[in-house]
């Protein structure tokens, strides 16, 4: 069996190792900066990269970019940080900028090539590597990277040639031998592959990878004892290596060690509970042992992870038939046929179940269809059979699957990927809240921060009778007893009737979830000062918050739900359908935008409201307006990115999420990891 997963892992390891080499060699050679602060941030970023603290590194290089955007090194190193955070689009953009500023910067071409290769854009990656080789033909690390790129683009002969070049210069690098061995394996030369794996193990006897690779060759040669010994050794070196346990389970199964097989599969699932392939194989074994209840549970989990897994439907139908659940069996077989209309065995099985149910006409029809599919299959040549192989009634569908599709993200009809259905909440709306006493832990100078500064908003804050701030997070005052403050503000409001005091009272009441009281206070403040833009923003935000609070009680929380295909469902519709209406909140935001059209947070809030209302094009338009006014509004990039993914514009959505991460929203990288991986 063959896999590209570990090639990719070695590729990633090579990126990190080369990155550290660059940091240790390049940075000391740089000219000293004129200012102490830049040296400090460079050192801090370098240290963070070396220690794998990529978000900290990103923040340091962000500061350097703001201090002097004409320097190419901060973009380059920030690109490395983004790459290691899984943000390949963002990394590519930074490498682009580094090359724009320094067109002969070899390392930027190298790392842009690595990034493009991870995104599956192999032609562009190869062009970058050729450019880098032209600039520095003596830098042999380029041949290693190009060898990996050739491998991933299935140009195995060229991959071997580049690994040959690298090995001649660096014969003691085990990863090169492992990668060349994998290339030989894809070229069908098992003997050369085995020889290269032997060499890699000799060079590094403490790396489990070589033993796992070699065990796969032994397994294919049915040298089960040798394969088992290699995997035992690999697991002794790395007791958390799920791939080793998975492969050992296959070998133990071939050796009739069923209890050992189940034990190894259990260990995989202990660490990776959503590994569909492992669940599928365990379900097959449990079925063979007559453990139907647990087998059904495993099949249910597989199909929950991927509803299009045809073999899981087929095999679960057998269990349903065995346990007398005939209607469930028919439904599973019908789904299998829907997925693969040439699946003759499914027609035959459904014919049998129809017969058990007394549905003889349906049984006869399915039997005739199955026979027609079988005849059609037999008329095809071996090379042209393709998907019609499902019509081959001689095939068995109850054997363990040896392809490492959950590990390599390929094979098994691409149907055994981990579950990617998640609910991702938009960043909340901005409004004024009682100020937090927490200070900026970074101590960043105001000139280097991305904070939006607005004279009108600053004046509003200064004139408030209590300390307030603009935020999209809950006020810290909500977590403390503010009853005495509320009493004082109440007395002042009754005494003076001042609109600012009424606004302050509304803030405190809102924190206390006294929504109706807060709404009355906002109404009263607006009646006294109908041209105060920020009152409308807060009242609109409160109206939306009241809807969200009600919906949460009814288990209908407003979220943007995106599945593994990048699709989603809007959960908010018209009030007539039993859902919620944001028109009053939108009216307040519209009024604010008319009173003060240069305040970006108004448009950001409108973007949220339109999204919750299911009006995605309008939401995107409003976020864009906010970004035009304030290009560093990270939350707007984040929310717009989610919605762009929602409407199937994944490329632009991932670019927005990259920008949100760059601007400080750490959660953006977890979303990028789910939806923006180039593989």
What are the CA-CA distances from residue 19 to residues 93, 125, 217 (Å)? 18, 18, 33
Residues 482 and 594 in one domain: yes
Residues 437 and 401 in one domain: no
Residues 519 and 600 in one domain: yes
Q: Is 663 among the domain residues?
A: no
Total tally of structural domains belonging to the chain: 2
**Residue 439's pLDDT band (cuts 50, 70, 90):** very low
Residue 475's pLDDT is what? Answer: 65
How is residue 543 annotated by DSSP? H
Q: Is 454 among the domain residues?
A: yes
Residues β-bridged to residue 468: 434
Domain extent for 517: 431-648
Residues 437 and 500 in one domain: yes
Q: Are 113 and 125 in contact (CB under 8 A)?
A: yes
- Whether the per-residue pLDDT at 412 is higher than 60: the answer is no
CA 603 – CA 561 distance, rounded (Å) = 23
For residue 390, give the CATH number of its domain.
1.25.40.10
CA 142 – CA 106 distance, rounded (Å) = 10
Q: Is 96 among the domain residues?
A: no
Q: State the virtual CA torsion across 505, 509, 515, 518 in degrees, nearest 10.
A: 0
Residues 467 and 348 in one domain: no
Residues 489 and 623 in one domain: yes
Give the pLDDT confidence of 7-36 residue by residue, as tens digits: 333 444 444 444 444 443 344 434 434 444
Residues β-bridged to residue 432: 470
Residues 473 and 383 in one domain: no
Residues 625 and 570 in one domain: yes
Sign, Cα dihedral of 492, 497, 501, 503: positive
CA 447 – CA 438 distance, rounded (Å) = 20
Q: Is 116 among the domain residues?
A: no
423 CB burial (10 A radius; 0-12, 13-18, 19+) = exposed
Three-point CA angle 330, 331, 336, nearest 5°: 95
- Whether the per-residue pLDDT at 306 is higher than 50: the answer is yes
Residues 357 and 316 in one domain: yes
Q: Write out the two tokens for 109.
A: 């071409």
Q: Give the SS3 label for residue 437.
A: coil
Q: Is 509 among the domain residues?
A: yes
Residues 437 and 391 in one domain: no
**Residue 657's pLDDT band (cuts 50, 70, 90):** very high
CA 559 – CA 372 distance, rounded (Å) = 48
Give the pLDDT confidence of 541-600 residue by residue, as tens digits: 999 888 876 665 444 333 444 444 343 333 333 333 344 688 999 999 999 999 999 999
Residues 644 and 546 in one domain: yes
CA 38 – CA 58 distance, rounded (Å) = 14
Of 351, 386, 414, which marks where a domain is finished? 414
Between 132-136, 410-414, 506-510, 672-676, the lowest mean confidence (pLDDT) is in: 410-414
Q: pTM to 2 decimals?
A: 0.72
Q: Is 43 among the domain residues?
A: no
Q: Write out the two tokens for 637.
A: 């990039």
Please write down the long-range contacts of 109-113, taking CB distance under 8 Å and 24 or more positions apart: 109/135, 110/18, 110/141, 110/142, 110/145, 111/15, 111/19, 111/76, 111/79, 111/80, 111/83, 112/79, 113/145, 113/146, 113/149
Of 356, 381, 414, which marks where a domain is finished? 414
Q: Interhelix angle for 258-271 vs 242-254, to 10°?
A: 160
Give the pLDDT confidence of 194-246 residue by residue, as tens digits: 999 999 999 999 999 999 999 999 999 999 999 999 999 999 999 999 999 99
Contacts of 483 (CB under 8 A, 6+ apart): none
Q: Write out the two tokens for 418.
A: 């981990």
CA 5 – CA 410 distance, rounded (Å) = 9
Q: Is 322 among the domain residues?
A: yes
Q: Write out the two tokens for 334.
A: 């019908």
- Whether the per-residue pLDDT at 666 is higher than 50: the answer is yes
Of 360, 384, 414, which marks where a domain is finished? 414
Q: Is 523 among the domain residues?
A: yes
- Average pLDDT over the chain reads 83
- Residue 49: name the closest of 4, 73, 1, 16 by CA: 16
Residues 408 and 557 in one domain: no
């Amino acid at each position: 069996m063959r896999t590209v997963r570990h090639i990719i892992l070695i590729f990633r390891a090579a990126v990190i190792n080369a990155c550290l080499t660059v940091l240790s060699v390049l940075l000391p050679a740089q000219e000293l900066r004129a200012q102490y602060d830049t040296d400090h941030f460079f050192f801090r970023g370098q240290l963070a990269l070396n220690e794998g603290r990529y978000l900290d590194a990103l923040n340091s290089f962000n500061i350097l970019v703001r201090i002097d955007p004409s320097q190419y090194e901060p973009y380059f190193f920030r690109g490395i940080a983004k790459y290691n955070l899984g943000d390949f689009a963002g990394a590519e953009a930074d490498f682009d900028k580094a090359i724009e500023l320094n067109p002969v910067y070899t390392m930027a071409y190298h790392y842009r090539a690595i990034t493009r290769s991870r995104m599956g854009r192999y032609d562009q990656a190869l062009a970058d590597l050729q450019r880098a080789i032209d600039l520095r033909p003596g830098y042999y690390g380029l041949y290693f990277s190009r060898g990996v790129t050739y491998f991933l683009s299935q140009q195995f002969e060229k991959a071997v040639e580049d690994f040959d070049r690298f090995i001649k210069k660096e014969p003691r690098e085990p990863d090169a031998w492992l990668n060349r061995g994998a290339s030989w394996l894809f070229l069908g030369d098992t003997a050369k592959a085995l020889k290269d794996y032997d060499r890699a193990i000799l060079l590094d006897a403490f790396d489990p990878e070589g033993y796992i690779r070699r065990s796969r060759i032994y397994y294919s040669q049915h040298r089960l004892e040798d394969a088992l010994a290699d995997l035992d050794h690999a697991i002794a070196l790395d007791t958390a290596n799920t791939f080793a346990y998975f492969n050992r389970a296959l070998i133990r199964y071939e050796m009739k060690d069923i209890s050992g097989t189940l034990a190894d599969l259990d260990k995989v699932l202990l660490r990776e509970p959503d590994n569909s392939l492992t669940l599928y194989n365990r379900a097959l074994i449990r079925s063979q042992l007559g453990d139907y209840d647990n087998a059904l549970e495993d099949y249910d989990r597989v199909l929950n992870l991927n509803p299009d897994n045809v073999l899981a439907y087929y095999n679960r139908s057998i269990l349903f038939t065995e346990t007398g659940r005939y209607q469930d069996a028919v439904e599973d077989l019908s789904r299998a046929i829907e997925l693969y209309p040439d699946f003759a065995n499914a027609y035959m099985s459904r014919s049998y179940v129809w017969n058990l149910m007394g549905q003889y006409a349906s049984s006869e029809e399915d039997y005739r269809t199955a026979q027609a599919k079988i005849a059609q299959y037999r008329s095809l040549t071996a090379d042209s059979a393709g998907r019609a192989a499902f019509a081959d009634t001689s095939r068995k569908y109850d054997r363990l699957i040896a392809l490492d599709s959950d590990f390599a993200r390929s094979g098994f009809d691409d149907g055994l990927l981990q579950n990617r259905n998640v609910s991702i909440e938009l960043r909340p709306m901005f409004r004024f809240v009682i100020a937090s006493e927490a200070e900026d832990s970074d101590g960043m100078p105001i000139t280097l921060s991305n904070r939006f500064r607005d004279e009108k908003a600053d004046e509003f804050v200064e004139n408030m009778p209590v300390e307030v701030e603009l935020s999209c997070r809950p006020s810290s005052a909500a977590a403390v007893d503010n009853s005495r403050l509320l009493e004082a503000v109440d007395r002042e409001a009754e005494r003076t009737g001042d609109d600012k005091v009424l606004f302050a009272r509304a803030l405190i009441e809102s924190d206390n979830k006294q929504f109706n009281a807060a709404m009355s206070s906002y109404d009263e403040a607006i009646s006294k000062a109908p041209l105060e833009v920020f009152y409308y923003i807060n009242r609109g935000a409160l109206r939306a918050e009241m809807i969200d609070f009600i919906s949460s009680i009814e288990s209908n929380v407003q979220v943007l739900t995106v599945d593994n295909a990048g699709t989603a469902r809007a959960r908010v519709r018209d009030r007539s359908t039993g859902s919620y209406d944001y028109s009053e909140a939108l009216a307040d935001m519209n009024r604010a935008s008319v009173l003060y059209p240069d305040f970006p947070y108004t448009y950001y809030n409108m973007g949220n409201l339109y999204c919750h209302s299911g009006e995605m094009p309008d939401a995107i338009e409003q976020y864009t307006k906010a970004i035009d006014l304030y290009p560093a509004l990270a939350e707007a990039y984040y929310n717009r990115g989610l919605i762009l993914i929602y409407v199937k514009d994944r490329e632009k959505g991932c670019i927005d999420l990259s920008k949100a991460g760059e601007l400080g929203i750490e959660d953006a990288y977890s979303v990028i990891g789910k939806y923006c991986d180039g593989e």
